[in-house]
Structure formats: structure tokens, C-alpha cells
């Protein structure tokens, strides 16, 4: 009979946030698979957990997943932990879970502390809808495309960012999104915990220098009014109005509306051409 894979959430900073269920699970499994065994050993020593530790850093997850699933198929029960938070959420674990599920192995989540939920709950931003981004693409077209897609979402955005890139990212977000409300949640649950609230521009200034600690960044979503102004229908209607009034060429109107709405110029130009064609011009 196959064993069970337990996905055990660990504290994001304060070891006191470990759950009773997590400790009991870690004590009972045959082995604990850890992103960093040194970090996991601190946790185990604190709570008297004696299970064997198996190292599985992020760069070796794909290579080790099959071997771990084989152990589960042989009847062992394994607990997967990462340095902080839930395995598989912007951390190693996804490949192991997917292979275990594919083999019909039981996968049990043991929930716990979450930087996303902790930051969101205390942010002061809307919490009824949120979009977890994780880490943005580092650069290039992929990053630009992602930011343009996120700009149009009405949900609160939750991102992870490194302290070294925080200031630059805040400036970039202000440039793409406009000066929206935002929150920098730094060192959550730790001694120097900070929740800095403000506009993207002022936060970019505040964190322009050296920053330390784990960062969760929250940005308010686009307002309904702004989303309506940037919709395909609204753009087509505005193009038709301006063409009728003789307020510029299709190219000129598209350029102006792209700047005003933040939509990619190529998209707005295509909509403008559609409007022109529908008018028979």
C-alpha cells in the first residue's frame, strides 16, 4: 500500500506560528524532504522532531521527484517542507505533487502561516478579490507583457520581490499602473516587521536605498471607472467620435488613447482600424 505525501506549511518567520498538527505530522513521517536541511533542522530541534531529513533544493526538484514518488509507492510516508510557508507556492514542491497525484498517491495539505494572507489581511486594501502574482519575470518582453495584463485586473495584486529590486520595481509599477495605493509588507512575523502603506511613487522613494528582509508587495487593482475607459468598446466608441469630429487620423487617435488608457499601442491601433472600417471610411 502506498504511503502519503504531506505538504507541511512552516512558519514564515516566527517559529511560534507552527501548528500542533504540523509538529505531530513531522514527528510521525518516515522522512522530511526539505528545501534546506539546515533551516529544517532548526525547526526540528526546537520542537523535538527526530525524523530523518532529506535535502531537495529547488534546482534538484525535477531530478529527485521520481525517486521520492518511488519511496511513496513503496509505502513510506513523507513530509515536504520548504524554508517558509506552503510547499509549491513560489517554492519547490509542484513537481513532486504532480507526479504523486499522477500515480494516485494520497497528498495531504497541512496548512499554516502564509505571507500572502497575512499581508493581505492587514493591508487595508480590498480583500474580496485578489490575484497572487508571485515573482514577476525578471526582464524583457515577458515582464512587460505580464505588467500590461496585471494593469487591467480589478483585484488586489500580491507579489513577492527581493529587497535588492524593490525600489526599482515600485518605480516601474508606478510608471505602468499609475500612482495607485500599495503596501510593502516586510519581515512579516519577525522582530522588525513593517507594513508601509502609501502610493507607489512615495513608496518607491521610501525604499530607494538599501532594503533588508523578505518582501510581500500589494497593489490595488484598477478601478471600475478606469477599466471601463480602457475597454475595447469604450476605445472603439471614442475613436468613432473623434473621427466623426475630425480630431486627427487613426494613427494619431490610437497613439493618444494608448497613452491615456495604458493599453498597448498595437492593440489600440487595431481597435481604431476596426472603428474606421465600421464607419465605412
**pTM greater than 0.85 (yes/no):** no
pLDDT digits (tens, 9 = 90+) for 220-272: 998 876 666 677 887 888 888 888 888 889 888 888 888 777 677 788 888 88
Band (pLDDT 50/70/90 cuts) for residue 176 is: confident
Residue 206 has pLDDT above 70, yes or no: yes
pLDDT digits (tens, 9 = 90+) for 121-134: 999 999 999 999 99
CATH number at residue 17: 3.40.1010.10
- Whether residues 101 and 122 share a domain: the answer is no
Whole-angstrom Cα distance, residue 254 to residue 21? 58
pLDDT digits (tens, 9 = 90+) for 147-168: 988 988 999 999 999 999 999 9
- Whether residues 95 and 34 share a domain: the answer is yes
- Whether residues 150 and 53 share a domain: the answer is no
- Whether residues 26 and 61 share a domain: the answer is yes
End residue of a domain, out of 88, 113, 138? 113
The parent domain of residue 252 ranges over: 226-278
End residue of a domain, out of 97, 113, 129? 113
- Whether residues 191 and 234 share a domain: the answer is no
| Total number of domains in the chain | 3
CATH number at residue 154: 3.30.950.10
Amino acid at each position: 500500500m502506498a504511503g502519503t505525501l504531506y505538504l507541511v506549511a512552516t512558519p514564515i518567520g516566527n517559529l511560534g506560528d507552527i501548528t500542533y498538527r504540523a509538529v505531530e505530522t513531522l514527528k510521525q513521517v518516515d522522512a522530511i524532504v526539505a528545501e534546506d536541511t539546515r533551516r529544517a533542522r532548526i525547526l526540528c530541534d526546537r520542537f523535538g522532531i527526530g525524523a530523518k531529513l532529506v535535502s531537495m533544493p529547488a534546482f534538484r526538484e525535477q531530478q529527485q521527484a521520481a525517486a521520492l514518488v518511488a519511496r511513496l509507492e513503496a509505502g513510506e510516508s513523507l513530509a515536504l517542507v520548504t524554508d517558509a510557508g506552503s510547499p509549491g507556492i513560489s517554492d519547490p514542491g509542484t513537481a513532486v505533487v504532480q507526479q504523486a497525484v499522477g500515480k494516485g498517491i494520497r497528498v495531504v495539505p497541512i496548512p499554516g502561516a502564509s505571507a500572502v494572507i497575512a499581508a493581505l489581511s492587514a493591508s487595508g486594501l480590498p480583500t474580496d478579490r485578489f490575484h497572487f502574482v508571485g515573482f514577476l519575470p525578471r526582464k524583457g518582453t515577458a515582464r512587460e507583457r505580464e505588467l500590461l495584463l496585471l494593469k487591467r485586473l480589478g483585484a488586489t495584486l500580491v507579489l513577492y520581490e527581493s529587497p535588492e529590486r524593490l525600489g526599482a520595481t515600485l518605480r516601474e509599477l508606478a510608471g505602468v499602473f499609475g500612482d495607485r495605493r500599495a503596501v510593502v509588507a516586510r519581515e512579516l512575523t519577525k522582530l522588525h516587521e513593517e507594513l508601509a502603506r502609501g502610493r507607489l511613487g512615495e513608496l518607491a522613494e521610501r525604499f530607494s536605498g538599501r532594503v533588508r528582509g523578505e518582501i510581500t508587495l500589494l497593489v490595488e487593482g484598477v478601478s471600475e471607472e478606469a477599466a471601463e475607459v480602457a475597454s475595447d468598446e469604450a476605445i472603439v466608441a471614442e475613436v468613432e467620435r473623434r473621427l466623426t469630429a475630425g480630431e486627427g487620423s487613426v494613427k494619431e487617435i490610437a497613439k493618444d488613447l494608448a497613452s491615456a488608457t495604458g493599453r498597448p499601442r498595437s492593440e489600440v491601433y487595431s481597435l481604431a482600424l476596426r472603428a474606421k472600417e465600421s464607419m465605412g471610411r
